[in-house]
Every structure is written in structure tokens, then in C-alpha cells.
Amino acid sequence: MPEPIGTAAVLRSAYSAGELTTVEIADRVLAAIGDPTGNPIWISTVPAAQLRARAVELHERRDELAVLPLYGVPFAVKDNIDLAGLPTTAGCPEFAYRPDRTATVVTRLLDAGAMLVGKTNLDQFATGLTGTRSPYGRCESVFGGGLIAGGSSSGSAVVVAAGLVSFALGTDTAGSGRVPAACNGIVGMKPTRGLLSVAGVVPACRSLDCVSIFTHTPDDAATVFRVAHGVDPDDPWARPLPADRSAARPPATLRLGLPRAEDLDFFGDLGQRDRFAAGQDRVAVLVGETEPVGLRPLFEAGDLLYQGPWVAERLADLDDFLRSRPDAVLPVTRKVLESGRRYDGAQVFRARHRLQELRAWTDRLWQRIDVLVVPTVGTTFTIEEIDEDPIGRNTMLGRYTQFANLLDLAAVTVPNGFTEAGRPASLTLVGPAFSDTTLIRLAAALAAEPSPSGPTVSGPTAAEPTVSDPTVSKASDASDDDRVLLAVVG
Amino acid sequence: MPEPIGTAAVLRSAYSAGELTTVEIADRVLAAIGDPTGNPIWISTVPAAQLRARAVELHERRDELAVLPLYGVPFAVKDNIDLAGLPTTAGCPEFAYRPDRTATVVTRLLDAGAMLVGKTNLDQFATGLTGTRSPYGRCESVFGGGLIAGGSSSGSAVVVAAGLVSFALGTDTAGSGRVPAACNGIVGMKPTRGLLSVAGVVPACRSLDCVSIFTHTPDDAATVFRVAHGVDPDDPWARPLPADRSAARPPATLRLGLPRAEDLDFFGDLGQRDRFAAGQDRVAVLVGETEPVGLRPLFEAGDLLYQGPWVAERLADLDDFLRSRPDAVLPVTRKVLESGRRYDGAQVFRARHRLQELRAWTDRLWQRIDVLVVPTVGTTFTIEEIDEDPIGRNTMLGRYTQFANLLDLAAVTVPNGFTEAGRPASLTLVGPAFSDTTLIRLAAALAAEPSPSGPTVSGPTAAEPTVSDPTVSKASDASDDDRVLLAVVG
């Protein structure tokens, strides 16, 4: 079984110390992706010769390490993000096209020295939160046991969790950058809309789409975010990060919102309920003060996405394809997309008006608190369980994520140990637009803090997951701040 | 014929000097509105006893003059703005209701000492730019001759131009705060969306609606704007004026955009063409530099309003009424509103996506220039001419105004003399969101500057309008900076 690739921070230390070369990392990556796991995480990979050539080029430029923040760091991108030279499928072979240009956000990462390995599986057209809606196969969580990988950025989360790359890009409209992080025990950062360019990304809901970042550590997410963000003239949705918001606020100065118990629904999963209770306590000790917060306006906003007129936004770009090639679209995806046809123009505006009222409510919330902590998902499902009710259980998975982009929020998802049943738990720190760096800093403080029941990221149950797969093993990986990382190879 | 009420600045001087009392002004206002002109400018007026009581109350509080910036200043509001005690009709008697609460923006003016006189006629549901779409009668411009007053804030513009009040509130979605200013030779300020509360205002397109200000002078507009703006928790669309944008930039520091000649269409009205050429030259000498600017992306954005899916936004609030009481709605208004039914949800989102591209284009424009000058209207029409083609000519009237709210712009309309045919000319200064005070300051500089052909506001042709009405007369009114004002009483 291939040795997991380290974090960007670990690789940087090793490159700096002369203990590692980009060529060695490229060879390890190639060995790992050549080792079939049966998990359909890749849709396409960069040809081996091309990856090696990139590694050689970077090796020859090793004196530029100081100015290349992602020097020699291997990464993957979700296959709805363009890379010149490989097709973009968006999870639909009949939709695939060969882009002339690489997406701006990918170019920024490459310019910073990163090495692109390949393009990952996803729920078709990034529509779904399960990872099971793909003709390229249904991804399983890195923890095995038939657990879903979560979606829509299923492959991107697994390739990071499995240690095949240091980081990956996903996209996040309803929670696609957070749910898969939860299902795979990693960090998922959903930046504020407009900070990472969506030029060269297949649209889901253009007004809401974000590029997201999967990493093992909040520090790595911070590094990738710093490189990846920046106003792109080719992206009409781009927004600059205001200068007065670019510095992270220290956790001790923050007011933390804690959800009222009656607003939390774990869909009967008491293990997740207990993990969240423990997790929010761990966040609470890091901040200045806490305040109870009602979540119902957030849920109402979130319901506009799949249970409301925003489904029609998905049709804005896809309807022609859907009408001309209906059989090319998976039945469940088609059903979701076609539900957008029942909304007329006035209904869209009416929902937009209601959303404005909910945004105003949320704006007032940010006068009382700086960060809100929520479960990432209320419960987890196996692939079989999703098959029993693919739309209803998808909706459950989105409960705590789908409001974020509608309400113009930023979010960082972090692992929160495992339930007694061995399922991964996760929590998400949510803040107003442009709170990105503050959220990452709080996530880093949380990751650095030993939890009452053991190390944060792995946790005692993580060390012995009861939902396991014969191929799952663990390996420790000293990060730059000496905390213990679990790299689980699927 | 009643003597015209002065500007707010003139009244303030007179009150300060003890030369005038609020009771005297109230009596003059009551005499003027009791003097029938045949022009259906009012829908309702505050009962005489109530206005007198307000004047007496203010007279007793005359020691508060220093802290009441609108002490004793009479004003009117368009009848789609709530005032507790009078019905709100929105230009439709069957729609009328009696509000319990006064609109926030009106309360702010009253709290500053202003005296509300009455509620003015408008195009039904603020849908239209002509002033001819009202069952309460069709307003004529203060210049008479059968010229339209412009709409939808027809009555508010005429009551100011006629000297019956010092200022009036209108609303502006497609240009309703600017076109009537152009038709009546006064100042019309359309603030940045969200700065003046729309709580208690009948919605037209909620995502675009603004409360607007009609005055004789830019200085008065600045005073009213200062009092009227402010975040209202009851208005979900409210936005604060950023602290770093609240100070006006000096005209000499500004870069002015001048429309390329090939983008300007005066619909064959050479008089308006010549006036605009002269007017933009007058603005150009006040600024630091000028640059030619193409207007086509602005026009494309503007066409989304009435020729695109934003008509469906008007249905979001009105469709139930329209379906249950179709005969209560004027045929032309009904036709416009019903055209919103042909848009489906996906079309709305597609148009929103295109608008975002046009907004991005506009954002880049504001990196090159600070202010753009455009004609307010390309030509003017008589009521008869509107009747010949009520929808087509309405569209012509909106050419240079209807893009502003879609593109999140601020605008200040100022008089620009008269054509040789005696029609009023007008130009509009347009800037990005939150440029309001900079635009007003530039407008004030323009008003203070003698034009090559005579005083700015009146102009030689204004002194002898060839389109005239027997009831039109003129009076001079020394403003606080000694420039000559024309107050035309209709």
C-alpha cells in the first residue's frame, strides 16, 4: 500500500531540508494512483510522463522554493473545473468537452508551484450531496464500510483523505465542499462567494457557486486559500477580500453562537448528537463568549435551494442539454433538475424577496456573534441507505450546509472524532462573508487543542473505526506544529 | 396666484432671521393647494386643521430650529408611500389601504421638522415613465402646453416645480425619480439603492426600488438626503453608507465619462441633442479629466427591466390583485404587468447571470471614470403623443435611466435649459453605488456655474418658454448662495 503524501506544510519542510525532491513525490503519487482501490475516485489523471516532467521542471527550479508557496505540492481538482489538456465531464460523459484554457483558480495554484495530478469524480453536474450520483461509479468514504463519500465533491475529498494528494479543489453550492469533508474526516473550506474565481468552472447555480478546498489541516487550507483567492477579470462574480477583513481575528476575541438544542435534528443518530455536543464545547473554550442562537431562519433559507426556485437556476445553463439529451442524465439528477421547471418568474422573485428578509435577519445575527458552530451533517448514510431514498436523504445531508451560499456566508468544516458506531463526525464553523481567515484560525486552534477524549483529528474511535474496510490502515504524519495527524489510506 | 414656497435653504434663512413663521408658510401652502389648477397633482392632502396644528407645534418649538434641519419645510410624498391617517392608493383606488404606520423615510423627515402637505399622483403602481397612467387624472408638466409631467412620480415633480412645496419624495425603479424632474425643470436625486428605507413603500420591483428626492437645488437635495438616509431595521434591503464614501469628492478631482456620440439617440429631437452637447461641455469644465465611454452595456442592462424578466418582479407582489381585480387596473398597466407572466424561472436566472456580466463591465468602468453624464431623456412628449404609442414611447423615455438600479448606480438629475422649441432639457450625473454626495456636489457646482447661454436653471429660453400655459408664471427666489432660481407656478 502506498505511503500517504504528507500535508503541504510537511512537504515544504522536507523540500526545504533537502530530504525530498519533487520527482520522488511525483513517483509516489504515480505509484499510489496506479494502485487500484476499486473506489472510483478519479475521472481522469494527468499522464505520468507529464506529471514527471512537471516534477523535473520544479526540481530544476528548487531555488525558487521560497517564492513558491505550493512548491511541489500534489493536488487534484473536481472534474467540473477546467484543465487544458483533459476533458471536463461534470460527471456526464455526453456533456464532456475539452477546454482550451485552464480555470483561473487552477492556474494560480500551478503558478505557486503545485503539481496537478488529476480530476476527480463527482455527483453529476455537482447536483447532490451523496457521491452516489455518477456514471463513473459511486465513491465510498475513505473509512469504507459502504459509507458514502458525500458529494458532490466525492472524489476530491477521498483523494485527500486517502493521502494520494496533499489537497484538492471541490466546488460548493449546497454543501459539496463540506459534506464530503465530513464523510472523510478532513478539513473542507468553503470560502466566501467570489473570492476564488469560478471562471472555467461548470456552473451549478451561478449566483451561489464557490470553489472549495479540501486539506488535512486548517493550516494547509489557509495556505491554499491565500494562493487561490484573488479577483479575476474573467469572473463576473468575483469580489475582492476587503483589506480590513483579510487579517484573522484571534479566537479569544470571538463571540460564538451555539445552536439551540430544539433546532438541532440528528435524524435519530444519537452518536452524532453526542459528538456535536462534545465538539461545540471544545470550540466554546477557545472563544471569548458564547450565545444561544436559533437556526430556523437559516433552515428556511436553505430550503430555497432544492425545495425552492433555485433549482431553476440549475436549468439556466443545463436546460438545453437536458431537453436534447435527456437519456444522458442520471434519472435522479434529471428528476431534480426537471423540478426546476415548475417555477415561474414571479415565484423566483418572490423567493428572492423572502431570502432578502432572511439575509437581513442573518446580518443582525452577525452583530451579536462572530462565528456559529453547527454539525456538518446530522447523520451519515451508507450507499445502500441513500438508494432507499435518494432525494429525501440527500435533503437531510444538506440541512446544515445549504443555507450558507444563499446567505452569503463563509464556512470551514473540521473533523470532530467518531461516533461510538464508528461513523466520522464533523462540525462546521460558519461566519459572515469575508470571515474566512478568522474561521480558519479558529479551526487551527481547535485542531491544536487536545480533545477531552483524545487527539482531535484521529480520536480514540478513529484509531479503531468500527465501520472499516480491509484496505483501511492508518499512518501518522508529523505536521509542522507537531500535532498528530491520521492519514487513512483507502 | 399663490406665491411660490421657497427652497428649504431660503425658508431656513427666513425662519432664522425671524422674518417668517411656520404658520405663515402653512397658510401659504393651504392657499396654494386650495387654488385649483386643473392639473391632477394631488391624490390626497393632509386636512387643513392638521397642517395648521403641525405649524403651530413647530412654531412653539422654534428654539429647536438649530437641531431640526428641515424645520418648517413643507413637502409632499408620492402616493405609494405610507402616511398613517391617509390612504395609500398607489394610483389604484381599488388597491387602496389605510396604513397604520408612516413609512420610515417620512418619519425621519418629520422628526427633522418638515411639514407634510399631501400625497401626489403617480403612474399606477409606479409602473410607467409618462405620468399619464393614472385613474386620478393625467398630470401635465409645469411648463404646460400639453407636455407630460413624466412619471411615475408625476405629481411629486410638479408640486415642487410649481412652488407648492419645497421638496417631495418620489420613488425610482426605472427612472421615476429622474424623468419627471427632466419634464419639470427641477433636480431629481435617485440615491443608491438601500440608503433610503423602503419600509412602508408599495413595492414595484423590490430588488430595485428606491425612494427619490425632488428639489429646486442640489443643496436642498443634499439636505433632504442627509436627513432621509439611514439604515432601517424594518427594511431588509437597507444598506449603510460606508463611512469612507460619505464625504463628497471635489469636482476637480473627478474623471468624467462622456458618451460616445454614436451611442446617443435623441429620437430625432435635434434640440435635445444640442442641449445635451452644451450641457456635457459645461460639466466637463468642472472636472479633472474626461474620457469617452460606450453606453451599449448599460442599455442592454436597462432593457432587462421592461423588455426582460424583471417585469415578472412586479408580479411578485401584484399578481394576486391583478388576477382577482383585473378591471381595477388600467389597460396599459395591465398589459405591462401581464407581460411578466411569460417568463419562467430559468429565464429569470439566465437574465440575472447576464446582468452580473454587465455589472462586472460597469465595475471596470468605475475604475476608469468617477462620474458619467447622460441625457435624462432623449426627447419629450406631449400627452397626446404618448397616447399614440403608450408603451413604445415609454420605452424611449427610459433609455438613459432604466439601467441605473439594475447596475446599482446612483444618479442626480439637473436642469439643462430649454431647447429652441421650448422643451425642458435635463442631464443626469451617474456614479457607482455610494457616490451620492459626490454627485450632488458636482450638481451644485454645475448649478452655480453660469452657462454660456445664461443662468443654469432658468436659461434664456426658460424665461420665455415657448411651450407655455396661461397659468405658468415665473418668480425669482434668492437661494442661499445667491444664484437665481426660477420658480414656475402651474
Q: What pLDDT, in 10s, does the model give residues B140-172? A: 999 999 999 999 999 999 999 999 999 999 999
| Whether pLDDT at A472 is above 80 | no
Can you give the pLDDT at residue A104? 98
The per-residue pLDDT for A451 is 59
CB contact under 8 A, B346 and A315: yes
Measured between CA atoms, the residue of chain B closest to residue A207 is: B353
- Of the two residues A258 and A34, the one the predictor is more confident about is A258
A434: alpha, beta or left? (left if phi > 0; alpha if psi -120 to 50)? left
Confidence band of B273 (pLDDT split at 50, 70, 90): very high
Q: Would you say A313 and A405 are in contact if contact means Cβ atoms under 8 Å apart?
A: no
* Res B2: pLDDT: 66
Shortest distance, CA A236 to any CA of chain B (angstroms): 5
Average pLDDT over residues B373-399: 97
Does B315 sit within 8 Å of A346, measured CB to CB?
yes
Phi, psi of A171 (to 5 degrees): -130, 160
Distance CA A84, CA A87 (A): 8
Local confidence band at B34 (pLDDT 50, 70, 90 cut-offs): confident
* Mean pLDDT, range B209-237, rounded to an integer: 98
Q: What is the pLDDT of residue A34?
A: 84
Q: CA-CA distance, B262 to B175, in Å (whole number)? A: 23
Helix A22-33 to helix A48-60 angle (10° resolution) is 160
Residues of chain B with Cβ-Cβ distance to A349 below 8 Å are 205-207, 312-313, 315-316, 348
* Cβ distance of B349 and A313 shorter than 8 Å: yes
CB contact under 8 A, A357 and B236: yes
Which residues in chain A are contacts of B309 at CB distance < 8 A?
Answer: 345
What is this model's ipTM?
A: 0.91
CB contact at 8 A, A106 and A196: no
Q: Per-residue pLDDT averaged across A317-321, rounded?
A: 97
Q: State the cell numbers at B363.
A: 465595475
Q: Give the pLDDT mean for B254-274.
A: 98
What is the residue-wise DSSP string for A382-432?
Answer: BHHHHHHSHHHHHHHHHTTTTHHHHTTEEEEEEEEEE-TTS-EEEEEEEEE
Residue B43 CA to residue B77 CA, distance in Å, equals 10
Higher-confidence residue: A251 or B456? A251
CB A158 within 8 A of CB A139: yes
Average of per-residue pLDDT across A343-366: 97
CB < 8 Å to A312, chain B: 344-346, 348-349
Mean pLDDT value across chain A: 92
Closest approach of B312 to chain A, Cα-based (Å):
5
Q: Quick one: pLDDT band at residue A2, thresholds 50, 70, 90?
A: low
Cell numbers for B147, please give them.
407636455
* Burial category of A422 from C-beta neighbours within 10 Å (exposed 0-12, middle 13-18, buried 19 and up): middle
Is the N-terminal amide bond of B152 cis, ω within 30° of 0? yes
Whether residue A15 is predicted with pLDDT greater than 90 in this model: the reply is yes
Closest chain A residue to the Cα of B361, Cα to Cα: A236
Locate all alpha helices (DSSP H) within A112-185, ordered by sequence. 154-161, 179-184
Report in angstroms the alpha-carbon separations of A381 from A19, A207, A377. Answer: 42, 29, 10
Rg of chain A over CA atoms, in angstroms?
A: 21
CA of B315 to nearest chain A CA: how many angstroms apart? 6
Is there a contact between A207 and B233 if contact means CB atoms under 8 Å apart?
no
Q: Do B341 and A341 touch (CB under 8 A)?
A: no
CA dihedral of residues B129, B75, B228, B410 (deg, nearest 10): 30
pLDDT score recorded for residue B477: 34
Task: Decide if A206 touches B, using CB distance below 8 A.
Answer: yes
Cβ of B312 within 8 Å of Cβ of A345? The answer is: yes
Q: Residue A206: its chain B contacts at CB < 8 A?
A: 349, 352-353, 356
B345, A345: Cβ pair inside 8 Å?
yes
Q: Please check the confidence at residue A23 and state whether its pLDDT lies above 60.
A: yes
Which position has the grid cell 464557490? A210
Q: How many CB pairs under 8 A join A and B?
A: 98
* pLDDT over 80 at A486, yes or no: no
- Omega before residue A453 within 30° of 0, cis: no
> Which has the closest alpha carbon to B154: B189, B119, B204, B203?
B119
Which of B193, B341, B348, B354 is best to mutate for the A interface (most A CBs within 10 A)? B348
Which of A207, A313, A345 is facing B340, going by the closest CB pair? A345
Cα angle for residues A380, A384, A386 (degrees, 5° grid): 55
pLDDT at A338 over 80: yes
Average pLDDT over every residue of A54-61: 98
Distance CA B279, CA B259 (A): 12
Are A315 and B349 an interchain contact pair (Cβ–Cβ within 8 Å)?
yes
CA distance A351 to chain B (A): 9
Q: Which of A267-276, A376-385, B140-149, B241-250 has the lowest mean pLDDT?
A: B241-250
B231 Cβ under 8 Å from any chain A Cβ: no
User: Hey, what's the cell of B243?
Assistant: 463611512
The partner residue sitting opposite B343, judged by closest CB among A315, A345, A356, is A345
Q: Pairing between strand A115-120 and A74-78?
A: parallel
SS3 B126: helix
- What's the pLDDT at B451? 59
Indicate if the pLDDT at residue A361 is higher than 70. Answer: yes
Contact A349 B313 (CB under 8 A): yes
Which is nearest to A444 in space by CA: A250, A217, A213, A181?
A: A217
CB–CB contact A364 B233 (8 Å): yes
CB contacts, 8 Å: B235 with chain A:
360
Report the distance separating Cα A222 and Cα A242, nearest Å: 17
Length of chain A: 490
Burial class (CB in 10 A: 0-12, 13-18, 19+), A119: buried
Average pLDDT, chain B: 92
Q: What integer pLDDT is reported at residue A307 of this predicted model?
A: 86
- Between residues B51 and B305, which one has the greater pLDDT? B51
- Residues of A labelled as active-site residues: 78, 152, 176
Catalytic residues of B: 78, 152, 176
**Best interface-test mutation with A: which of B104, B206, B207, B349 has the largest number of A CBs within 10 A?**
B349
CB B222 within 8 A of CB B437: yes
Residue B35 pLDDT level (bands cut at 50, 70, 90): confident
What is the residue whose three cell numbers read 439601467? B403
Q: What is the pLDDT of residues A398-448, one digit of tens each?
A: 999 999 999 999 999 999 999 999 999 999 999 999 999 999 999 999 999
For chain A, percent of residues with pLDDT exceeding 90: 88
Closest CA to B435 of B193, B220, B261, B236: B193
Is pLDDT at B296 greater than 70 in this prediction?
A: yes
- The per-residue pLDDT for B481 is 30
The H helix count followed by the E strand count for chain B is 16, 13
- When CB atoms are compared, the residue of B205, B313, B356 closest to A237 is B356
pLDDT tens digit sequence for A284-309: 999 999 999 999 999 999 999 888 99
| pLDDT tens figures, B46-97 | 999 999 999 999 999 999 999 999 999 999 999 999 999 999 999 999 999 9
Read off the pTM: 0.91
CA distance A380 to chain B (A): 32
Least confident of A464-473, B113-122, B429-438: A464-473
Q: Look at residue A479 in the predicted model and tell me its pLDDT.
A: 33
**Under an 8 A CB cutoff, do B349 and A207 touch?**
yes
What part of B 340-369 touches A (C-beta under 8 Å)? 340-341, 343-350, 352-353, 356-357, 359-360, 364
For A110-119, the pLDDT digits (tens) are 999 999 999 9
By CA distance, what is A319's nearest residue in B? Answer: B346
Is the predicted pLDDT of residue A487 greater than 50, yes or no? Answer: no
Query: Contacts for B331-334 with beta carbons within 8 Å, 24 or more apart?
Result: B332/B128, B332/B133, B332/B390, B332/B391, B333/B123, B333/B124, B333/B125, B333/B127, B333/B128, B333/B133
Residue A37, pLDDT score: 81
A237 touching chain B per CB within 8 A: yes
